[in-house]
Amino acid sequence: MIVTPTPLDQKGSKTAILQCLHKYGAITRVRLAELTGLSRATISTAVSELIGLELVRESKERLNTGGRPAVTLKLKSDTRLVIGADLDPDAWTIGVFDLRFNQIAISRVPIQDRSISSIIGLLVGQVKNFIQDFGKRLLPMIGIGLPGLIDNRNGIIISASHFGWSKVAFSGQIRKELGWPAVILNHNKARGLAECRYGAGRNYHQMIYIGVGRGIAGGIFYNRQLVEGAFNGAGEIGHITMVPNGILCSCGNQGCLQAYSSGSALELQARKRVRLSLDEHTSLTSDEDMMQLRYEKVCQAADKGDWLAREIVEECAQYLGIAMANLVNIINPEAFILGGSVPRNSKLFVDVALKTMRQRSVSQLSQSTEVNVAQFNEFGGALGAANFAMDELFSFPLCVEE
């Protein structure tokens, strides 16, 4: 039978089906009806039209559901593409993905000027290059991972201290430049979403991602979905208070985890301790200006056995482990995924954080809690941001509009 496609999406049935296939992967028509609340007749008609439009396909694989095997449905991954972007202090990472989130193209665009106009201009310029390359295969929407505290519901950067930004209507400016709807979220939450669905956290239902680089931020994930909190602030792990009246944090508070366990904290401690240990041999001592000492070098030296670097990394990792123990006692996740350049450069940091977490949490809760290092780097932020765009914006009209 030849199905005549229609652009109509009565009662949002096609959009609901597409969103379910995006979020849950291969599922049966019966499961679609359960998830969407649509009747089986509506599912049957809508799916037939989506197959005719080459947006959905029946899988040749059959999943054993405990009874008679059932044919599953999947998004047809190669007919449409989606863009995601991730901003770190040095560059944009911008990726194009198919609907099964295989990487089709990736671009890293270095940053010189941190003004909003320049940052947006670089992003828009690369997106326009991708539009020329891929044309109408691209879904007209974009997901963007950004540093700082983000109000993703209103598309506003509340504050991003490393860039000196506050109250920036970022999504609105992207829409103005591209004519596309845009969603934004903290880039560590974006990276966590990628890990949750495709990386080191893909086998867990409940996990917490903690990104440890120059700062610390994270995301909480339940059933492959980002937990946003009442005011979009869930996951601000870097600003858990560890020491009352402690070191001043960039947020203005004192004693935050970020001030004790981040890459910036490692650098400060290393410079201080090297100056106090000039008569003792350590690979951290050099004739260079100590202001040039970077935390990556401290992490690598610690893993190679340098005594001073080990002391610094162990102390910083213990603070993270204490924070993780508190999260175990409060949320009881199946796993922590540690991302960012600090865990990536130091196995010692990860091992000490894990040991401290187990020591300081309720043992019955933490004994089965796993700690893994993230599989993706900045690429994961672009992948997660593209996923978030699909979660928030993906619809049938977007797939068929000319």
Residue 48, domain CATH: 1.10.10.10
Query: Within a domain: residue 355?
Result: yes
Cα 380 to the chain's mean position, in Å? 6
Does 171 share its domain with 51?
A: no
DSSP state of 170: H
Query: Within a domain: residue 397?
Result: no
pLDDT value at position 2?
37
Does 318 share its domain with 175?
A: no
List the domain range (segments joined by +) for residue 279. Answer: 201-374
CATH number, position 293 = 3.30.420.40
pLDDT value at position 77?
81
Query: Within a domain: residue 401?
Result: no
Does 295 share its domain with 180?
A: no
Cα 98 to the chain's mean position, in Å? 18
Query: Within a domain: residue 402?
Result: no
* 266/342 Cα distance (integer angstroms): 9
Residue ranges of alpha helices (H) inside 69-222 are: 116-134, 170-178, 187-198
Is residue 3 classed as helix, strand or coil in its secondary structure? Answer: coil
Does 177 share its domain with 154?
A: yes
pLDDT value at position 65?
52
The number of distinct structural domains making up the chain is: 3
Does 239 share its domain with 352?
A: yes
pLDDT value at position 3?
37
Does 313 share its domain with 243?
A: yes
Does 109 share its domain with 248?
A: no
Query: Within a domain: residue 1?
Result: no
**Domain termination residue (choose one: 75, 109, 124):** 75
CB 146 within 8 A of CB 160: yes
Residue pLDDT tens, the chain, 402 long: 333 444 567 678 889 999 888 888 888 988 999 999 999 999 999 999 999 888 999 986 655 555 566 789 999 888 899 999 999 988 999 999 998 899 999 999 999 999 999 999 999 999 999 999 999 899 999 999 999 889 999 999 998 888 889 999 999 999 999 999 999 999 999 999 999 999 999 999 999 999 999 999 999 999 888 998 888 889 999 999 999 999 999 888 999 999 999 999 999 999 888 887 765 677 787 656 667 789 999 999 999 999 999 999 999 999 999 999 999 999 999 999 999 999 999 999 999 999 999 999 999 999 999 999 999 977 899 999 999 999 999 988 888 865
Does 268 share its domain with 344?
A: yes
Residue ranges of alpha helices (H) inside 53-179 are: 116-134, 170-178
Query: Within a domain: residue 163?
Result: yes
Does 289 share its domain with 145?
A: no
pLDDT value at position 323?
98
pTM comes to 0.89
Reference 302, options 353, 255, 339; nearest CA is 353
pLDDT value at position 12?
86
Does 349 share its domain with 388?
A: no
Does 46 share its domain with 165?
A: no
Q: CB under 8 Å to 308, separation ≥6 — which residues?
A: 270, 273, 274, 277, 280, 282, 284
Does 362 share its domain with 242?
A: yes
CB 342 within 8 A of CB 350: no
Q: What angle in degrees, to the nearest 10, is found between the helix axes of 295-303 and 263-276?
A: 70
